[in-house]
Structure 1
Amino acid sequence: MIDLYYWPTPNGHKITLFLEEASLSYEIKPVNIGRGEQFEPDFLKIAPNNRMPAIVDHAPIGGGEPIPIFESGAILLYLADKTQLFLPSDFRQRWVALQWLFWQMGGLGPMAGQNHHFVQYAPERIPYAMDRYVNETSRLYGVLNKHLSDGRAYVAGQDYSIADMAIYPWIVPHVRQQQDLNDFAALKAWFERIAARPATIAAYKVGETVSTKPTVDDEAKKILFGQTAKTVR
């Protein structure tokens, strides 16, 4: 059994995508980040960066004490290693998948996240910041679209992988990111292919059972957007 500390955000959806695809037993432990539950002492023992998702694997390979893992990319790698699923065994294709996993973690996620912040939530509309992150999101969509334009079904080739699971949830809010998928034909086909997978549908239904309310409201803004080093002391 795996405990999944979760809220239905792009990073949270990454992990339910894997767990549903692999048919692993898991229990959702909701962490309402809009109400500050990520600062609870018990959660910080698992995820010291006060961010979800995080997992606790109660049946790790080799037995022994439960293993806690934080950071969504690390969780995907851990689950792929545990199950021997969704990470190519071929050396070259494995490294294609890993490069694109880190591309999402270091590029698409942070840039789209800043896009969301300045376009949707910032108390002041700052045209330079909005244009900066909308344009960078567009550039990243273009990079992925070009990569997918050689006929591959998925990011690492013809097989679905953790790279796809990491990227897909950050494309779901493309309208909020001011991106038109019709401008990216190969990306759009890839997106629709993943959206139709039964496990993708199941994963997003899990999210709906946890919350369908906006994560960011006026109360949440005070919690999510005012953090400093003092927050974690």
Structure 2
Amino acid sequence: MAETRVALVTGANRGIGLEIVRQLGRLGVMPIIASRELDKGKRAAEQLASEGLEPAVVQLDVDDPQSIATGVANAKDLFGRIDILVNNAGILIDGPSSGAPTVENVPLSIVQQTFTTNIFGPLLMIQAVLPTMKEIGYGRIVNLSSGLGQLSEMGGGYPAYRMSKAALNTLTRTLASDLGHGDIKVNAMCPGWVKTDMGGPEATRSPEEGAETAVWLATLDDSGPTGGFFRDKKQIAW
């Protein structure tokens, strides 16, 4: 890239999000850690500072529309632009630890909370940053989805999470189609089963591996794809 790009990464104080920030910073991108709790974001930034990186930090809770508006405004105030948005923040609260509910018995409250974080949050983030991307004539939007949201391989269990990620994939394709093959590229990716607080210690992938495809999509050149779903830098079925 000929100029320094600015990337806003949600849920970036730990796990895959923090690793995305780390890898983007190493590529010369100016990353912004968006963290629900500002202190945790600052501690993450201090960790990266010890590695020679200098990410910025903003407080941003994707469950709160006002927090999104304020956080995006603060990010724009820091650098005057947002070139890259990585919608990383997400929750999985209908797994074994919550009794492994099915469609038959999953509480509506769990579905509502999951959709608030996993789909409404990304939608509002996109709406907040898109005007700036259109103004500067450049944008990369990366939505962290999951194989559990693939309709082509849909299974049972995790109903709220599966539905939310399928909806996120729909958002990805719809926005990409709305924008066309221009200067703003929108893609979804599956990081795989990653050793994070969500994935647990038995997961088969490291955060470094989980972040790699997101970073690739965040830094696509002008000939790169839009409107796709990727794992390991390869397109996969919806």
Q: Structures share a fold, TM > 0.5? A: no
TM bucket, shorter chain: 0.3 to 0.5
Q: TM-score, normalization: structure 1?
A: 0.35
Structure with greater contact order relative to length (CA < 8 Å, sep ≥ 6):
1
Bigger CA radius of gyration:
1
TM-score, normalised via structure 2 length: 0.35
Higher share in strand: 2
